[in-house]
């Protein structure tokens, strides 16, 4: 039995960065408890994905492979994960708070009859091999510290882009094992019939190191061109406030915030965004925040590392020009 189990999200063999962050936290918890770590991958043809996870230090990498699980289905994955964890008597189960993790974790918790701390931004080892977790509540206005009852495993989903991914080791000692999960296929009622890939070729805000976002001040979709130009010059992604999305200036997939995506890039440039609490909930963990706003009293300046008070339609193209010039030199 491994004391700590982590679910490693992969799609088509590609392991998500958020999953690597969970592996690193799982390793830390297992070490604090003087125990071992098991990483679980579910799907088919998982060898390459397992090879990526092994150097991050799990003692065991277990591949639950079944043809029915080649694509994600919440009912199939719930059966595989909860069935396996129930048999191993693990003390903790961690998942990423990605779309998949947030879909899967509550069902697994219900099956195992344990509680779940979701979207945690910190976890630590408590007394008697238990765990404490911190999660933002009320759109990040307050932090709740969660302690668990004696029911095991303690379960948490971890917010992506908050925890560092682990450092790979040169000669990993862990073992990879393949298992076939027992499934009741009649209980898998939803099946994936096709995937429509985003054809835009744009960088996802969640994966980007640099995000340039525009708000209501952009006034229309054409004006977003200057945000796209700055993002392209920096090799970053384009983000937006909800006001910009609701006004139809840009698609919802770009929305940052409480009802959009949570990002924590190295650099976040907010252009014509006032800094409402719901927007801050999605970007306040960014390493460096640059705010451009014509209102010197805008709340965004309270969390900005650097603030520029002025008209974004003058400043953003100037910034792009300077950056392109610097890159050309």
Ligand X SMILES: Cc1cc2nc3c(=O)[nH]c(=O)nc-3n(C[C@H](O)[C@H](O)[C@H](O)COP(=O)(O)OP(=O)(O)OC[C@H]3O[C@@H](n4cnc5c(N)ncnc54)[C@H](O)[C@@H]3O)c2cc1C
Binding site for ligand X (CB under 6 A): 215-217, 241-244, 255, 257-260, 272-274, 276, 278-279, 282, 292-295, 298, 311-313
Give me the least distance between CB of 288 and ligand X, in Å please.
Answer: 19
Q: Which lies closer to ligand X via its Cβ, residue 153 or residue 282?
A: 282
Structure tokens at 143: 């932090």
* HSE-CB for 48 with a 13 A CA cutoff: 8
Q: Which residue number places its CB atom closest to ligand X?
A: 257
Give me the least distance between CB of 161 and ligand X, in Å please.
Answer: 16
Give me the least distance between CB of 297 and ligand X, in Å please.
Answer: 9
Secondary structure of the chain: what % helix, strand, coil (to 5)?
Answer: 35, 25, 40
Q: Which lies closer to ligand X via its Cβ, residue 130 or residue 278?
A: 278
Integer Cα distance of 210 and 223 in angstroms: 20
Give me the least distance between CB of 273 and ligand X, in Å please.
Answer: 4
Angle between helices 99-112 and 74-88 (to 10 degrees): 50
Q: Which lies closer to ligand X via its Cβ, residue 88 or residue 278?
A: 278
Integer Cα distance of 120 and 136 in angstroms: 7
Give me the least distance between CB of 121 and ligand X, in Å please.
Answer: 17
Q: Which lies closer to ligand X via its Cβ, residue 26 or residue 215?
A: 215
Work out the burial of residue 71: count CB atoms within 10 Å of its CB; fewer than 13 is exposed, 13-18 middle, 19 or more buried: middle
Between the alpha carbon of residue 96 and those of residues 11, 111, 253, the distances in Å are: 14, 18, 19
Q: Give residues with Cβ within 8 angstroms of 140, minimum separation 6.
A: 258, 277, 280, 281, 284
Give me the least distance between CB of 296 and ligand X, in Å please.
Answer: 9
Q: Which lies closer to ligand X via its Cβ, residue 97 or residue 244?
A: 244
Query: Contact 65/78 with Cβ under 8 angstroms?
Result: no
Identify how many contiguous H helices and E strands the chain contains and give both numbers. 9, 17
Q: Which lies closer to ligand X via its Cβ, residue 70 or residue 223?
A: 223
Of 183, 164, 13, 169, give the one whose Cα is nearest residue 84. 183
Q: Which lies closer to ligand X via its Cβ, residue 58 or residue 215?
A: 215
Give me the least distance between CB of 214 and ligand X, in Å please.
Answer: 8
């Amino acid at each position: 039995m491994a004391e700590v189990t982590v679910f490693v999200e992969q799609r088509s063999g590609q392991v998500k960065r958020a999953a690597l962050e969970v592996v690193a936290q799982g390793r830390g918890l297992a070490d604090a408890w003087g125990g071992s770590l098991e990483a679980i991958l579910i799907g088919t043809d998982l060898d390459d994905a397992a090879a990526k996870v092994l150097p991050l230090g799990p003692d065991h990498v277990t591949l639950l492979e079944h043809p029915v699980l080649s694509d994600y289905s919440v009912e199939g994955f719930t059966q595989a994960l909860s069935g396996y964890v129930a048999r191993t008597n693990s003390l903790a189960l961690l998942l990423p708070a990605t779309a998949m993790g947030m879909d899967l974790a509550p069902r697994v918790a219900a099956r195992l009859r344990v509680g779940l701390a979701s979207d945690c931004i910190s976890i630590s080892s408590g007394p008697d091999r238990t765990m404490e977790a911190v999660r933002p509540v009320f759109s990040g206005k307050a932090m709740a510290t969660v302690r668990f009852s004696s029911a095991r495993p303690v379960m948490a989903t971890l917010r992506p882009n908050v925890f560092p991914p682990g450092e790979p080791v040169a000669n990993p000692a862990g073992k990879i094992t393949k298992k076939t999960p027992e499934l009741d296929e009649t209980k898998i009622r939803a099946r994936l019939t096709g995937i429509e890939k985003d054809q835009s070729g744009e960088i996802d805000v969640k994966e980007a190191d640099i995000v340039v976002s525009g708000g209501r001040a952009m006034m229309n979709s054409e004006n977003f061109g200057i945000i796209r130009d700055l993002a392209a010059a920096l090799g970053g992604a384009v983000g937006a406030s909800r006001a910009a999305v609701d006004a139809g200036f840009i698609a919802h997939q770009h929305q940052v915030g409480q009802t959009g995506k949570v990002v924590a890039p190295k650099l976040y440039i907010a252009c014509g965004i006032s800094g409402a609490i719901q927007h801050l909930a999605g970007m306040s963990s960014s390493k460096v925040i640059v705010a451009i706003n014509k209102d010197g009293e805008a709340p965004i300046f309270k969390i900005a590392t650097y603030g520029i008070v002025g008209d974004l339609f003058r400043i953003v193209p100037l910034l792009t020009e300077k950056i392109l010039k610097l890159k050309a030199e």
